[in-house]
Structure 1
Amino acid sequence: MVAFTNILLTIFLTSSSITPALARPSPLSPDPAGAKNVGNGAGGQFIGGACLSSADCASTCCATLNGAGICSGLGAQFQAGKTGCGFGDGGAAAPPAGSPPAAQPSSAPEARPDAGAGAGAGAGAIDASLPGSQNVGKGNGSQFITGQCLSDADCQSGCCAKPKGVCSAVAVQFDSGKQGCGFGAA
């Protein structure tokens, strides 16, 4: 009986010590799927993709991670080992982040009327000074996570979280005060 108990205890301890090792997420590294967006400065790289400067990223934030650039959400630039926006930007993230809104005055005014017409009650005006304001209200899935949105159709993730209208990953649509996807839905 003692031998049987020892065997069961050994199996339990061995399996419980292996399980946590398998459940650990792998270290953060750039997603190779966006290789075509690296270094072109077109702002088409998704969050998690590699970048050479903030101009590559739809979020306007190329964060430094282990000596390389990875596109990051503006609120997550110091998470998971990242050391902030500005990789490849000559030491400062402010000029590239400020440049896109200044270069897009024609697209921001187009988005502003859509906010008044298409947004439901409680929706705020679009802030044209924020990165990604040119993507608000287009409904073509071009807005990055943490960007402003008027509906789920604006977001690459397919989730415009309530109550403020911010693109969110579906998995965290109820985190940090968010009330789920579907902002702007009638």
Structure 2
Amino acid sequence: MVRIAYATILALASAVMAIPSPLTPDPAGEKNVGNGAGGQFIGGACLSSADCASTCCATLNGAGICSGVGAQFQAGKQGCGFGDGGSAPAASAPAAAPAASGTAGTGNGSGSGSGGNINTSAPGSQNVGTGNGQQFITGQCLSDADCKSGCCALATGLCAAEAVANEGQGCGFVA
């Protein structure tokens, strides 16, 4: 009886492992596909990097999917630049993180935006230091209050998913 149960469990586990789990674009953001307005969320379909809030339209199975720059080669993705005519500005390193200015605490989410260096040419720079929670993941931040995820990573000064930031030093960056 024990051998049958073990064999059954092994067979079920093998069947589950054999089922592919393909990453596919989330259809909820269809209104953001192809308009170049930078409103598409990570995981949504895209026709070029201009569609994505993260500025990275990664190639996946011959189609585009918005991705964080740091995740552009994960889960079968082949890097940023889908639909960009061979140029993939988002495939380079993420925008420079705000540097500490020596005036710790000035970017405390109050919306003042003082302290730190903001790369104003980077996508999402209008959301840095506002404290209104509108910055996308991988965008610059001066505090947790800037990020939709509620996490400005200590190690980078970029918005991150809390689980990802906790693999490093966690959230709570303050410029």
TM-score of Structure 1 vs Structure 2, range by shorter chain: 0.7 to 0.9
Query: Which of 70, 73, 85 is the aligned partner of 1:75?
Result: 70
Kept in 1, the 8 Å contact 2:105–2:174? The answer is no
AA aligned opposite 1:51: C
Report deviation, 1:58.
0.5
Higher-helix-fraction structure: 1
Unaligned ranges ≥5, structure 1: 1-6, 102-114
Q: Normalization by structure 2: what TM-score?
A: 0.75
What's the Cα RMSD here?
Answer: 3.1
Partner SS for 1:134:
helix
Larger radius of gyration: 1
1:160, 1:153 → 2: CA distance?
A: 8
Give the match for residue 154 of structure 1: 146
Report deviation, 1:57.
0.4
Give the match for residue 59 of structure 1: 54
Report deviation, 1:124.
4.2
2:12, 2:20 → 1: CA distance?
A: 14
Partner SS for 1:161:
coil
In the alignment, structure 1 residue 49 sits paired with structure 2 residue 44: yes
Query: Which of 84, 92, 112 is the aligned partner of 2:87?
Result: 92
2:150, 2:139 → 1: CA distance?
A: 12
Q: Normalization by structure 1: what TM-score?
A: 0.71
Kept in 1, the 8 Å contact 2:116–2:142? The answer is no
Kept in 2, the 8 Å contact 1:116–1:125? The answer is no
Unaligned ranges ≥5, structure 2: 96-103, 110-114
Aligned length: 159
Give the match for residue 100 of structure 2: none
